[in-house]
């Protein structure tokens, strides 16, 4: 999982994008479905699970700690959980591949169990800081031995019973919030997380659906999430909606490629996840939500997206938490807009799979876009709908980051000459069918020799 061979990709303008897309299941919900079902007592069934490498890393880790997880012939997954407090000692290191979500949330689970676990990952994940999670979990009693800089590989020893805490998030992070709440599941008393800036709320919604005693309150200090520990989770039947982060690539692709008209089916429209839709609409994108409906407590819709002339904007900073993973593809949209786009307030991008601010600045510059880098984002001078010139035979450095690779592949869909990407193999971590889907819509990606 952690040592895939590089797969360079070439892509240039072909034809308008037309057709219907079904994107993979939402990654955030897929991770949590496996974890929470693995802690429930009884059998849960999951349909629409994202079968990318990141989610499969979560499945493997939960199996290693005792959960019985099986993919059925019809593509659904069944999970027989061990019960809260029932995680077993893993016999080998837990290989997280490239998945920061798997790592941070599973550390939360382990923190309140009497087990020791070692977490390892690929070169990209091993560069990402873990202190934002280890610090609050250490306050609850977990003990950590980390690599220099608080990074992977790391070994943690959980404490049972752990100590409940009230923790105010210093930065907006759904992963940190979720890790603390998951540690609180097996901790006597009430564990509280205070988030001054709201973040995606899938953990709260799903934990309540599984039967956890969880309360969310709005206060002057922010949103307070309280979970009562020593919980009993009940098995569930889960239908995972389409990932809005994956849908974002096609929203932008259809917006920038002249003549395009596509429909994206079954997209999660949770209000904590729709920042990209809001930003693109502010830029003038034609995105129509059709057949909005409720699926398992989450809002879902089909999105019809047509080519439109985009205009540069100052991206509202309050959208950042609801689109933090979508900034790379938003930067691509800005590259084709009329005028200047300023996208700031996204410090978190510096510590994703790559430094996504610096990596996208370098990639777009190589493709001929005028970019100014800031500590918390980019200012981009758009090309007013004109295609890119290409990368002149040079290769964009994806730095093992799936979203960089896919974002620059979308940029290449409106480029006179080829945009070359040094390694598109990481795309498999979140969207294994991305290349095939691009081809089916009319794009022309090609694998090239390393």
Instruction: Mark the binding-site residues, compressed into ranges.
Output: 27-28, 32, 100, 128, 173, 175, 325, 352, 356, 403
Strand-pair partners of 400: none
As a whole number of angstroms, the distance between CA 247 and CA 338 comes to 23
Task: Please name the residue that has the structure tokens 């429930």.
Answer: 40
Q: How far apart (Å, rounded) are the C-alpha atoms in residues 8 and 166?
A: 47
Residue 403: both structure tokens together: 């979203």
CB atoms within 10 A of CB 306: 15
Q: Which residues are annotated as a binding site for 3-phosphoshikimate?
A: 27-28, 32, 173, 175, 325, 352
Residue of 256, 245, 277, 251 whose CA lies nearest to 431: 245
Spatial separation of the C-alpha atoms in residues 421 and 405, rounded to whole Å: 7
374 Cβ neighbours under 8 A, 6+ residues apart: 344, 357
Binding residues for phosphoenolpyruvate: 27, 100, 128, 175, 356, 403
- Among 325, 401, 422, 423, the active-site one is 325
DSSP percent split of the chain into helix, strand, coil, nearest 5: 35, 25, 40
- Measured in degrees and rounded to the nearest 5, phi and psi for residue 436 equal -65, -40
Examine residue 105 and say whether the peptide bond preceding it is cis (omega within 30 degrees of 0). Answer: no
Question: Which phi and psi (to 5°) does residue 164 adopt?
Answer: -70, 145
How far CA 23 is from CA of 8, 244, 267, 407, in Å, comes to: 23, 8, 8, 15
Active site residue 74: no
Evaluated on CA atoms 401, 249, 169, 140, the torsion sign reads negative
Is beta strand 190-195 parallel, antiparallel or unpaired with respect to 222-228?
A: antiparallel
**Residues assigned a catalytic role:** 325
């Amino acid at each position: 999982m952690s040592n895939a061979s590089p797969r360079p990709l070439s892509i240039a303008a072909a034809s308008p994008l037309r057709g219907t897309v079904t994107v993979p299941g939402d990654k955030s919900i897929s991770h949590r479905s496996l974890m929470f079902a693995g802690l429930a007592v009884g059998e849960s069934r999951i349909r629409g699970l994202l079968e990318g490498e990141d989610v499969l890393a979560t499945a493997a880790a939960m199996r290693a700690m005792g959960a019985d997880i099986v993919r059925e012939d019809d593509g659904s997954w069944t999970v027989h959980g061990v019960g809260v407090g029932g995680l077993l000692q893993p016999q080998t290191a837990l290989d997280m591949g490239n998945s920061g979500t798997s790592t941070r949330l599973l550390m939360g689970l382990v923190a309140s169990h009497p087990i020791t676990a070692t977490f390892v990952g690929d070169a990209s994940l091993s560069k990402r800081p873990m202190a934002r999670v280890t610090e609050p979990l250490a306050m609850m009693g977990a003990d950590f031995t980390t690599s220099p800089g608080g990074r992977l590989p790391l070994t943690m020893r959980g404490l049972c019973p752990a100590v409940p805490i009230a923790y105010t998030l210093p930065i907006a992070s759904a992963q940190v919030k979720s890790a603390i709440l998951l540690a609180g599941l097996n901790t006597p008393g009430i564990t509280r997380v205070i988030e001054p800036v709201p973040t995606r709320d899938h953990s709260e919604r799903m934990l309540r659906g599984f039967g956890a005693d969880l309360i969310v309150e709005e206060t002057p200090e922010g949103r307070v999430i309280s979970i009562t520990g020593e919980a009993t989770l009940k098995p569930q039947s889960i239908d995972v909606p389409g990932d809005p982060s994956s849908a974002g690539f096609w929203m932008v692709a259809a917006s920038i490629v002249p003549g395009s008209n596509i429909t994206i089916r079954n997209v999660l429209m949770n209000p904590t996840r729709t920042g990209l839709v809001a930003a693109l609409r502010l830029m003038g994108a034609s995105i129509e939500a059709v057949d909005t409906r409720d699926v398992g407590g989450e809002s879902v819709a089909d999105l019809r997206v047509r080519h439109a002339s985009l205009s540069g904007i100052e991206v509202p900073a309050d959208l950042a938490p609801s689109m933090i993973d979508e900034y790379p593809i938003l930067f691509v949209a800005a590259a084709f807009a009329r005028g200047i786009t300023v996208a700031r307030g996204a410090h978190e991008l510096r510590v994703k799979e790559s430094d996504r601010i610096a990596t996208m600045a370098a990639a777009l510059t190589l493709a001929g876009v005028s970019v100014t880098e800031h500590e918390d984002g980019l200012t981009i001078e758009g090309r007013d709908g004109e295609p890119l010139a290409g990368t002149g035979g040079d290769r964009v450095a994806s730095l093992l980051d799936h979203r960089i690779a896919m974002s620059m592949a979308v940029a290449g869909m409106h480029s006179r000459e080829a945009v070359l990407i040094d390694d598109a193999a990481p795309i498999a971590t979140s969207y294994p069918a991305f290349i095939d889907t691009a081809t089916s819509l009319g794009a022309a990606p090609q694998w090239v020799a390393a």
